[in-house]
Amino acid sequence: MKSGKILVAQGGGPTAVINQSLVGVALEARRFGEVQRIYGARHGVRGIVNEDFVDLTQETSHNLELVAGTPASALGSTRDKPDLKYCQEIFKVLQAHEIEHFFYIGGNDSSDTVRIVSEEAHKANYPLRSIHIPKTIDNDLVGNDHTPGFPSAARFVAQAFAGANLDNAALPGVYVGVVMGRHAGFLTAASALGKKFPDDGPHLIYLPERTFVLDKFLADVKAVYERYGRCVIAVSEGIHDESGAPIAAQLARDLEHDAHGNVQLSGSGGLADLLCEEIKTKLKIKRVRGDTFGYVQRSFIGCVSDVDQREAREVGEKAVQYAMWGGRDGSVAIKRTGFYSVDYELVPLESVAGKTRTMEDDFISASGTDVTDAFRLYLRPLLGSGMPDAYRLRTNPVAKVLNRG
């Protein structure tokens, strides 16, 4: 006899719209009479192995809608990266609770977890439908035009650099803003959408898709500073030398490492400070300031793309439809069909799991320090409606009397 139970969980870094996908699953599942219980696992896969579930069936539709519009992961998340043994424990719990449909909202690692759990279910001949729902601000899932969470984070980055540029124009100097993105530079590249006038910053953009050379960087900064009297720079946390070693690790030895042994690139402030010090020391520029956007760009409550919200909801809804009406497991993918429209497709888990998308070459300028119009056309509709704009006073100088200054 069928149990009618489904389980949904959220994994990896939170985003501004991940709860839209969660609520998309919960509300869409209610439309199917065979669904009796909708469980949510607290803190992702860790909550599954600990049997830490909540019954979302008892949530009101009104409260679910309020949660949908709230950033970050309402169920809680985890940074656990399950191996085969871990996934086997997940499967044991799913069996024990008679879960028939498993939905996991997350990025690369989460898709791999769904793949392994799906394989375990097939080996055991257990009737489990496993669907991965895309989410990542890095925009690095293959098979997708873009990934829910990225547009809202990109909107934040574009607006933040627009503001930094205005500040830098008022008090000229050099500004370095470090943005998330270990291997993919999409989020850092979004800084270019904050530009309006030809001399606006960011004047230089450094991405992990291109090799970073410190001497070339300093020469670039010097040239821009001499031309405009100021320089705004967007830098990806993942910039590296030709050997692949992080620049942050080269400029400083005492850096934190994360649970996977990687250099802690986000939230430390290290790279921005180190690059600022290089500029001050080598170029003798006095006013040099830097920021690390860190975690604030992931779930910023006042800067959410309405396009991102809609699509994050729809990938949750489509996941349920694919699970109920389809005959296979998979990952929901967003496909662009026009300017601007999208459709959805269920792609094989193995085509997404464990793979990383990086920025396409035609999105990066020949200089390697800017983006192309192709990228601007790609990103602009994703940022959503109501993007703020900036204006300038027209230059109408008054003749000097004392000829001072």
Q: Are residues 162 and 274 in the same domain?
A: yes
DSSP at 351: G
Q: Are residues 270 and 313 in the same domain?
A: no
* Percent residues over pLDDT 70 in the chain: 95
CA distance 270 to 253: 10
CA distance 205 to 199: 14
What average pLDDT does the structure give for the chain?
Answer: 94
Report which residue type is found at 113.
T
Q: Is residue 392 part of a domain?
A: no
Q: Are residues 94 and 52 in the same domain?
A: yes
pLDDT of the residue at 260 = 45
Q: Is residue 389 part of a domain?
A: no
pLDDT level of residue 249 (50, 70, 90 thresholds): confident
CATH number of residue 131's parent domain: 3.40.50.450
pLDDT of the residue at 73 = 97
CATH number of residue 262's parent domain: 3.40.50.460
pLDDT of the residue at 267 = 45
pLDDT of the residue at 1 = 47
pLDDT of the residue at 113 = 97
pLDDT level of residue 383 (50, 70, 90 thresholds): very high
pTM for this prediction:
0.94
pLDDT level of residue 258 (50, 70, 90 thresholds): low
Q: Are residues 198 and 234 in the same domain?
A: yes
pLDDT of the residue at 378 = 98
pLDDT tens by residue, 132-152: 999 999 999 999 999 999 999
Q: Which residue has the higher pLDDT, 2 or 57?
A: 57
Strand order in the sheet with 99-106: 53-55, 37-41, 5-10, 99-106, 129-134, 330-338, 341-347
pLDDT level of residue 13 (50, 70, 90 thresholds): very high
Q: Is residue 403 part of a domain?
A: no
What is each CA distance from 106 to 17, 57, 133, 140, 318, in whole angstroms? 12, 22, 6, 12, 15
pLDDT at 2 over 70: yes
For range 259-284, the mean pLDDT: 76
pLDDT of the residue at 262 = 52
Q: Are residues 125 and 265 in the same domain?
A: no
Residue in 80, 109, 112, 138 annotated catalytic: 138
Task: Kindly report whether the peptide bond that precedes residue 340 is cis, defined as omega within 30 degrees of 0.
Answer: yes
DSSP for 297-338 reads GTS-TT---HHHHHHHHHHHHHHHHHHHH-SS-EEEEEEEEE
pLDDT at 269 over 70: no
The beta strands (E) that lie in 157-220 are given as 174-179, 204-206
pLDDT at 268 over 90: no
pLDDT at 122 over 70: yes
DSSP at 174: E
Q: Are residues 62 and 169 in the same domain?
A: no
pLDDT level of residue 253 (50, 70, 90 thresholds): low
Q: Are residues 163 and 251 in the same domain?
A: yes
For residue 290, the cross-strand partners are 176
pLDDT tens by residue, 202-227: 999 999 999 999 999 999 999 999 99
Number of domains in the chain: 2
Q: Is residue 398 part of a domain?
A: no
Beta pairing, strands 288-292 & 204-206? unpaired
pLDDT at 95 over 50: yes
Q: Is residue 404 part of a domain?
A: no
Q: Are residues 104 and 188 in the same domain?
A: no
Q: Which domain holds residue 187?
A: 153-297+360-383
pLDDT at 265 over 90: no
Q: Is residue 48 part of a domain?
A: yes
DSSP at 399: P
- H-type alpha helices, 196-269: 214-228, 247-251
Give, in degrees to the nearest 5, the angle at Cα 206 between 208 and 228. 180
Q: Is residue 388 part of a domain?
A: no
For range 245-258, the mean pLDDT: 71
pLDDT tens by residue, 334-382: 999 999 999 999 999 999 998 999 999 999 999 999 999 999 999 999 9
Beta pairing, strands 341-347 & 129-134? unpaired
Catalytic residue at 138?
yes
Q: Are residues 42 and 92 in the same domain?
A: yes
pLDDT of the residue at 135 = 98
Please report, to the nearest 10 degrees, the dihedral formed by the alpha carbons of residues 312, 359, 108, 265 taken in order: -110
Residue whose entry in the numeric block shows the structure tokens 């627009």:
162
* Percent residues over pLDDT 90 in the chain: 91
pLDDT tens by residue, 150-183: 999 999 999 999 999 999 999 999 999 999 999 9
Q: Are residues 265 and 339 in the same domain?
A: no
Q: Is residue 238 part of a domain?
A: yes
pLDDT tens by residue, 65-80: 999 999 999 999 999 9
pLDDT of the residue at 365 = 98
Report which residue type is found at 32.
F
